[in-house]
Chains A and B, each alone.
Chain A
Amino acid sequence: MIKKFDKKDEESGSGSNPFQHLEKSAVLQEARIFNETPINPRRCLHILTKIIYLLNQGEHFGTTEATEAFFAMTRLFQSNDQTLRRMCYLTIKEMANISEDVIIVTSSLTKDMTGKEDVYRGPAIRALCRITDTTMLQAIERYMKQAIVDKVPSVSSSALVSSLHMVKMSYDVVKRWVNEAQEAASSDNIMVQYHALGLLYHLRKNDRLAVTKMLNKFTKSGLKSPFAYCMLIRIASKLLDETEGGHDSPLFDFIESCLRNKNEMVVYEAASAIVHMPNCTARELAPAVSVLQLFCSSPKAALRYAAVRTLNKVAMKHPSAVTACNLDLENLITDSNRSIATLAITTLLKTGSESSVDRLMKQISSFVSEISDEFKVVVVQAISALCQKYPRKHSVMMNFLSNMLRDDGGFDYKRAIVDCIISIIEENPESKETGLAHLCEFIEDCEHTVLATKILHLLGKEGPRTPQPSKYIRFIFNRVVLESEAVRAAAVSALAKFGAQNDDLLPSVLVLMQRCMMDSDDEVRDRATFYMNVLQQKQKALNAAYIFNGLSVSIPGLEKSLHQYTLEPSEKPFDMKSVPLATTPITEQKTEIAPVATSKLPEKLGPSRQDIYQEQLAAIPEFQSLGPLFKSSEPVQLTEAETEYVVRCIKHTFARHMVFQFDCTNTLNDQLLQKVMVQMEPSEAYEVVNYIPALSLPYSQPGSCYTLVRLPDDDPTAVSCTFSCTMKYLVKDCDPNTGEPDDDGYDDEYVLEDLEVTVADHIQKVLKPNFGAAWEEVGDENEKEETFALASVRTLDEAVGNIISFLGMQPCERSDKVPENKNSHVLFLAGVFRGGHDVLVRARLALADGVTMQVTVRSSEETVVDVILASVG
């Protein structure tokens, strides 16, 4: 029979697979021989293998058939064939989730785990723990404790690793095995040492003191296992990070000493840990960099890869620290592993001189098509960084990028390129036209809607202000003809901007608009009709408000206000000023340039932080009459770090009131605080109206209390005020373990730091993409101008930073970036003052001995202008 099978197999050629045509039903049928007596180990083994193979291929087993096979399998425990028994353990683990009543094998496994056959014991423990739940764990606890300290390493390791798996499920039970794990940690066997350390850390990781003690013990006693060393290094660097321990700490010394370990794995782990530490100085980095440099010439590809990847990371923050490795990196740019070559080149781009850029770019373009998208993104990011460093090189880069844009590639890759080109355009005005031309070419054949709309938006913003705006019209209008709805709509908006900015183009734009009004899509038609009507008015102010700068309200807020309006219809027209403003998106932080996991999460337009606060505050009855939330500040710490209570304050501004939200955390585990409130004493005519206490503040669970303050009505210019704050509460002592409080408590108070309210709390940032248009729109009716001398400021950069943070307004037209080597600069700021009044500031700065500043303020409301000027003075 078997012979026949083999023969047939042979005929079918070399590619045959004995498992290829397995049928689940046939295999389950075969499984009946498990019930035959005597057991035929070889045949049974073969069938178990088939079952596991099928499961591994993703074959689905129904509960009934799985359970049936599982029960038949249990009979095989009668055989003493070693391999068969081992395969039974594997089957148990594989079927633990699909078969019912798997606990039936508990006693067989317990027997094997405590039996004489050492080969069975480890695997039996692992299989047993796989099918054990919390309730049954108690029953085997005694055996587990014994197994952890068993002298046979495989038994001890199996017990430790299984305990680790079970921590998630039964932390409280496994916690009781700490002493056994401790004993196992001093085992001679390297794997037992490693597993014991892992389990100990996992059980103690929330107790910083215990972790510190453990580290001290193991770093002194010295371990044999390189894996355990790596684990220790990770724990030490995490602890250093959390405690912000200085680099003179013994933990740092330990990590550094591991650079001299004789195992490469440990040395690399230590070097990588040092490189990833925040605030490392060049001197501290040097030893890590020099071991990485050695690894660069290793014959092992994985080690070269690890080294160059880590050096790449160093080069981002400390390019000069890596310069010493330039020669070694040069040798890697022809590495047959393209990942290594790419990382080497991008590192060199960061550390090398301007003169080497051309050569490196040439080298990289020779194989850019061979590397994976992940690394192409790395290349693009390196170019992006390079353009900031050497602005003069932008033409080389631009060329390179446009070639890459033409190549095949996924969305992330294309987006990285487009983002890079856009940032070059923004940094270098002279590259604008070439950049826009490349992007125009790209959208002619672009399958990604998101990118096409993004580029169209950019064209609308930048195109009209170029010397030859007319040449972009063709590209934009092609989109209207050829693309999907979203892209067409974006194209219409872009066209409108050309019409609004350039009078000579207006007639042609109107003609094109007319055609768009016959589009098949609602959104496109609506936009076209709207823009058409606005453009026909030929009024600068209208163009500025409705075409260039758009709405600055929060979209979820608008939705909610409109919904509210339709629920309670009134005679009054809907007031846009009642809608909360959009908090300007914080400019996207440059993502780290490294092959780190590209986030897989789709970017969702979630509610902003302020929308969340609005919701939370609206739920409190006392605050319901305050109107829409105007602005929420960043949290301000009112306590030192590491004190008994941690309190931070968020200032919420409303039209006539302010709400101070105090987020308090109690860090004492033997206290329960109740009726917590923060009493505030204002220095000015501010009036405290109401306190909303936090009812209960148990250990380490944050809670919030609020204080409501009315702003002075009679003096609108009183925008700043200092409050002295005291936290008052009822203390009840409690048992640190159970959290059970005593019945009696006593009143106590705790003095917090003073809280400042400044002009910035009354102004919301608003981005005006076209500041000039907005400036004209507001007009000079309430314009005021004053000149100030900022004697203490030494540079224009510093002055710009100070003004922005003082006024809390949004810099526009990238005017927050001061070009190098200039003696004067103009800063444009936009915002909305509490109550919904637009306010714009133009600050002309001149650097002489100190900085002289001429501030011009425009607003729709005169008092606002006065407030701003008064507060600057």
Chain B
Amino acid sequence: MHCSTPDEPSLYTVKAVFILDNDGNRLLSKYYDPELYPTMKDQKNFESNVFSKTHKADNEIAFLEGMTIVYKSSIDLFFYVVGSAQENELMLMSVLNCLFDSLSHILRKNVERRCLLDNMEGVFLVVDEIIDGGVILESDPQQVLQKVNYRADDNPLTEQSVAQVLQSAKEQIKWSILK
């Protein structure tokens, strides 16, 4: 029986990372192990299974379909990092924390769906700097921010951006009440 012996030591730590909204819709997903959930359908099934088991309780860690999943939510967003059953849970946590802190910074603490979607290019770049093909490339948010060098729109305060700020404030309040 080899299930008790750890896997071959390797840098391939992260099996998948994804961000879902509060209806369980995929906003961003990356799967790094081609053997795990090879088709889009498998991936979406997995995501909806994970979402249904995790969105109610903010428990930080779960074990589903033979995978260790660490997660975190913010307003109307859910962040997930997936590793194998044998993986060091704290390593996965460090990836999740780095992802969350980096995004929180580029979104200026407005870690909610609308703001994330408005800065999607920054989100893609952040994920790309943290994980490369399943290998943890960087786990220090400061380093990630420096490498990405991305800032949310710096428009001068126009009429519409005031409206946007109000809108996002409204949503934040709404979700904090609904939660």
Number of interface residues of A (CB under 8 A): 80
Residue-by-residue, is A451-467 near B (CB-CB < 8 Å gives 1, otherwise 0)?
A: 00000000000000000
Partner pick for B120 among A19, A126, A161, CB 8 A cutoff? A19
B89-116 CB contacts (< 8 Å) to partner A: 89-94, 113-114
Q: Please give, as numbers and ranges, the residues of chain A lying within 8 Å of B84 by CB-CB distance.
A: 597
Contact B60 A337 (CB under 8 A): yes
* A122-B147, A227-B136 known; A49 vs B63 contact (CB < 8 Å): no
Interface code B34-71, partner A: CB below 8 Å = 1, 0 otherwise? 00000010011000000001000101111111110010
Given contacts A3-B160, A17-B117, A303-B90, contact A273 B60 (CB under 8 A): no
| Chain A residues with CB under 8 A of B147 | 119, 122, 154
CB of B3 within 8 Å of the partner chain: yes
Q: Which residues of chain A from 568 to 609 have a CB within 8 Å of any chain B CB? A: 589, 591-592, 595-598, 600
Q: State A674–B9 Cα separation when bound (angstroms).
A: 37
Q: Which of B11, B90, B94, B133 contacts A306 (CB 8 A)?
A: B90
Interface residues in A133-173 (C-beta closer than 8 Å to B): 154, 157-158, 161-162, 164-165
Q: Is B139 an interface residue (CB 8 A)?
A: yes
- Report if A384 contacts B (CB, 8 A): no
Question: Interface residues of B toward A: which range?
Answer: 35 or more
Q: Given A161-B133, A272-B88, A339-B63 in contact, is the A14-B124 Cβ separation under 8 Å?
A: no
Indicate whether A265 sits within 8 Å of B91 (C-beta atoms), given known contacts A86-B148, A154-B147, A339-B61.
Answer: yes
Q: Are B150 and A83 in contact (CB under 8 A)?
A: yes
Q: Would you call A366 an interface residue if the criterion is a C-beta within 8 Å of the partner chain's C-beta atoms?
A: no
Interface status of A195 (Cβ within 8 A of chain B): yes
Q: Which residues of A contact B6 (CB under 8 A)?
A: 234, 237-238, 273, 276
Which positions 121-144 of chain B face chain A at CB distance < 8 Å? 121-122, 124-125, 128-129, 132-133, 135-139, 143
- Docked complex: A338-392 residues within 8 A CB-CB of B: 338-339, 372, 374-375
Knowing A3-B160, A195-B11, the reply to whether A306 touches B62 (Cβ < 8 A) is no
| A-chain residues with CB within 8 Å of residue B70 when the two chains form the complex | 302
B5 adjacent to A198 (CB under 8 Å): no
The verdict on B29 contacting chain A, using a C-beta distance below 8 Å, is yes
Interface string of B142-179 (1 = CB under 8 A from A): 01000111100000000010011001001100100000
| Closest B residue to A42 using CB positions | B153
Beta-carbon nearest neighbor of A83 in chain B: B150
Do A164 and B11 touch (CB < 8 A)?
yes
- Residues of chain A within 8 A (CB-CB) of B3 are 591-592, 596-597
**Contacts of B11 on A, CB cut-off 8 Å?**
161, 164, 194-195, 198-199, 202, 231
- Tell which of A51-59, A431-439, A658-666, A781-789 binds the partner: A51-59
A254 in contact (CB, < 8 A):
no
> B124–A87 contact, CB under 8 A?
yes
Residues of B within 8 A of A56 (CB): 26, 28-30
The verdict on B118 contacting chain A, using a C-beta distance below 8 Å, is yes
Q: Pick the residue among A6, A234, A300 that contacts B9 (CB under 8 A).
A: A234
* CB–CB A201/B9 < 8 A: yes
Which of B124, B148, B163 touches A49 (beta carbons < 8 Å)?
B124
CB <8 Å contact, A265 and B90: yes
* CB < 8 Å neighbour of B40 from A58, A265, A269, A305: A58
Which listed residue (B28, B53, B121, B163) contacts A45, Cβ 8 A?
B121
A14-B167, A191-B138 known; A305 vs B89 contact (CB < 8 Å)? yes
A82 on interface, CB distance cutoff 8 Å: yes
Chain B residues near A90: list those with CB within 8 A: 124-125, 128
Interface string of A1-44 (1 = CB under 8 A from B): 00100110010001011110000000000000000000000000
Most chain B beta carbons < 10 A, residue from A14, A16, A199, A372: A14
Query: What CA separation (Å) do A231 and B79 show in the bound complex?
Result: 26
Q: Find chain A residues with CB under 8 A from B91 CB.
A: 227, 230, 265
Cα–Cα distance between A195 and B8 once the two chains are bound (Å): 16
Q: With an 8 A cutoff between CB atoms, is A833 at the interface?
A: no
Are A595 and B120 neighbours in the complex by a CB distance under 8 Å? no
Q: Does A241 contact B (CB under 8 A)?
A: yes
Known: A14-B170, A265-B90, A303-B89. Is A592-B125 also a contact (CB below 8 A)? no
The docked-state distance in angstroms from the alpha carbon of A49 to that of B124 is 8
CB–CB A372/B62 < 8 A: yes
Partner of B89, one of A87, A191, A231, A306: A306
Q: Is A161's CB under 8 angstroms from B121's CB?
A: no
Q: With contacts A45-B121, A231-B11, A598-B66 known, is A302 near B61, CB below 8 A?
A: yes
Looking across the interface, which residue of chain B has its beta carbon closest to that of A373? B64
Residues in B neighbouring A650, C-beta threshold 8 A: none
Whether A264 is near chain B, meaning CB under 8 Å from some CB there, is yes
Q: Is the CB of A49 within 8 A of B62?
A: no
- A86 lies within 8 A of B125 (CB): yes
A806 to B135, CA, bound (A): 53
Cross-chain contact of B137 among A82, A191, A268 (Cβ < 8 A) = A191
Give the complex CA separation of A454 and B24 in angstroms.
39
| Cα-based distance from A58 to B62 in the complex (angstroms) | 26
Is A319 an interface residue when CB atoms closer than 8 A count as contact?
no
Set of chain B residues within 8 Å of A812, measured between Cβ atoms:
none
CB distance from A588 to the nearest CB of B (A): 12
Known: A14-B167, A19-B117. 14 other contacts (CB 8 A): A119-B147, A126-B132, A154-B138, A157-B137, A194-B11, A194-B136, A198-B11, A230-B88, A230-B91, A234-B6, A265-B90, A305-B89, A372-B64, A374-B65
Listed in ascending order, the chain B residues whose CB lies under 8 Å from chain A are 1, 3-6, 8-11, 26, 28-30, 40, 43-44, 53, 57, 59-67, 70, 84-86, 88-94, 113-114, 117-118, 120-122, 124-125, 128-129, 132-133, 135-139, 143, 147-150, 160, 163-164, 167, 170-171, 174
Interface residues of A (CB under 8 A from B): 3, 6-7, 10, 14, 16-19, 45-46, 48-49, 52-53, 56-58, 82-83, 86-87, 90, 93, 119, 122-123, 126, 154, 157-158, 161-162, 164-165, 191, 194-195, 198-199, 201-202, 205, 227, 230-231, 234-235, 237-238, 241, 264-265, 268-269, 272-273, 276, 300-303, 305-306, 313, 336-339, 372, 374-375, 589, 591-592, 595-598, 600
